[in-house]
Amino acid sequence: MRLTPGDSPLLDSLLKANAQLARVATNPKYELQIIYTQINRDARNRPTFIPHTYHLNPQQYFNPASLVKLPVVALSLEKLNDLHKPGLTRRTIMATGTAYRCQTPVPFAAPADSDRTATVGNYIKRMLLISDNIAYNRLYEFLGQRPLNDRLAQLGHPTVRITRRFAPCDTTANRHTNPISFHTPQGDTIYKEPAKFNPVPYTSPLGRVLKGRAHQSGSRVIPEPYDFTTANHLPLPDITALLQSILFPESVPTAQRLRLTPADYAFLRRYLHATPHESGFHPYAPARYFDAYKKYLYYGRNPDLPRQSTLHIYNIVGMSHGYLADVAYFADSLHQSEFLLSAVLYVNQDGIINDGAYEYDSIGQPFLAQLGRQIQQYEAQRPRQHRPNLIEFFAPEPIR
């Protein structure tokens, strides 16, 4: 296996040690990128982060799919704080209006069932527990395209572009976002804002981005690459840094720290870790939402694998257009180890975008599961001067 500039010899050797991993890692068609971050603690339990990368290339586009939900949930909580409106919290009833094409309404409704009520908090739960796309659309609209991207630039992510709903809206329609209002259970208005419009369209910082040998539109296969130039763009280093900033806020510079409260951080941690049915969130009690529903690294979305109670995984995933990604933090109480692991690969053997024929189950998921296990096994035996105290990840404070 030949290293490319910047590849970590340690990560290269861990990939080479496993034939299943090596087969994918050595084949450029899979466009594999990995960031493995070791975490070392000092005597006061303060962490330092040591990244190891493999084939990391921010100039190589991949479709982030649902990875964009992580910055949207964090910035939605931050916006609630910044508004400083009495009575406005993540539990406040939210209504969404319409003002342009491709917009859908969510009228005010009194909370007959608090888990099903339209609130910022419930939308975040839906996004983090099962990667709900409609919930993402509602919070993308709450933030507005321009404010969302401007704030990410302020946080140190100037090349990130979050420009699309998960809906068949054209580029102009995605620049228009809905009027939003918040209400008491009796229907009184606490806060409202008009529809927003981004007057300057975004394009990819990579220039024109074309992928695949063909793409499908409806029932037709068009023999031309798919154009991602105006699509969402979220490089692996940026989404990794965002997860770290949520789990370890004191590890990032103050200017790049989210304006969140301790309760906000606790709320995000709970739902980044929880499985759908253990979360206590009423809509996801049925057994169809199994433990590995969105824990690709280590479990590979296998419904038959039992969850390891001593291993907590805090993560966000993406799966679309043949791209499969997972960005995760592992906390292992049995071996007193921890690490961050991010990976993305492309599994589209026929080269046709949007035909639904991707090798997620046969190649992508097994690779990510094995990768997570390989790193977890290495970390379980890696010497440490100071063992981490992981109590905050295994016995978190109650969420208020």
Helix (H) or strand (E) holding 115: none
pLDDT at 285 > cutoff 70: no
Residue 276: what pLDDT? 87
Does residue 226 lie within any of the structural domains?
yes
What is the mean pLDDT of the segment spanning 282-306? 84
Q: Are 25 and 32 in contact (CB under 8 A)?
A: yes
Q: Are 152 and 160 in contact (CB under 8 A)?
A: yes
HEC string of 178-195 equals CCEEEECCCCCEEEEECC
Sign of CA dihedral 305, 307, 312, 317: positive
Residue 5: what pLDDT? 58
Q: Which parts of 169-290 are beta strand (E)?
A: 176-177, 180-183, 189-193, 196-197, 210-211, 214-217, 220-222, 226-227
pLDDT at 279 > cutoff 90: no
In the chain, % of residues over pLDDT 70: 97
205-260 pLDDT, tens digit per residue, is 999 999 999 999 999 999 999 999 999 999 999 999 999 999 999 999 999 999 99
119-131 pLDDT, tens digit per residue, is 999 999 999 999 9
Residue 293: what pLDDT? 87
Q: Which parts of the chain are beta strand (E)?
A: 33-41, 47-54, 93-96, 176-177, 180-183, 189-193, 196-197, 210-211, 214-217, 220-222, 226-227, 311-320, 323-332, 337-346, 352-353
Does residue 68 lie within any of the structural domains?
yes
Report phi then psi at 19, rounded to 5: -60, -40
Does residue 351 lie within any of the structural domains?
yes
Does residue 83 lie within any of the structural domains?
yes
144: left (phi over 0), alpha (psi -120 to 50) or beta: left
pLDDT at 202 > cutoff 50: yes
370-400 pLDDT, tens digit per residue, is 999 999 999 999 999 999 999 999 976 666 6
Report phi then psi at 346, rounded to 5: -120, 120
Higher pLDDT, 395 or 55: 55
Residue 1: what pLDDT? 35
Going edge to edge, which strands form the sheet with 311-320?
47-54, 33-41, 337-346, 323-332, 311-320
Does residue 132 lie within any of the structural domains?
yes
- Domain of residue 338 covers 9-394
157-178 pLDDT, tens digit per residue, is 999 999 999 999 999 999 999 9
d(CA 185, CA 93): 7
Does residue 217 lie within any of the structural domains?
yes
d(CA 321, CA 197): 28
Query: In which residue are the tokens 């996801």 written?
Result: 284
Considering the chain, what is the average pLDDT of its residues?
A: 94
Residue 168: what pLDDT? 94
Does residue 221 lie within any of the structural domains?
yes
Query: In which residue are the tokens 């609209």 written?
Result: 141
137-157 pLDDT, tens digit per residue, is 999 999 999 999 999 999 999
Residue 185's DSSP bridge partners are none
The CATH number linked to 265 is: 3.40.710.10
**Range scoring the smallest mean pLDDT among 19-23, 53-57, 112-116:** 112-116
Does residue 118 lie within any of the structural domains?
yes
Residue 164: what pLDDT? 97
pLDDT at 2 > cutoff 70: no
Residue 395, C-beta contacts closer than 8 angstroms, at least 6 positions apart: none
pTM for the predicted model, two decimal places: 0.96
At 329, the amino acid letter reads Y
What is the mean pLDDT of the segment spanning 48-61? 96
Q: How many domains does the chain have?
A: 1
67-97 pLDDT, tens digit per residue, is 999 999 999 999 999 999 999 999 999 999 9
Distances (CA, A) of 354 to 211, 267, 320, 344: 11, 35, 9, 18
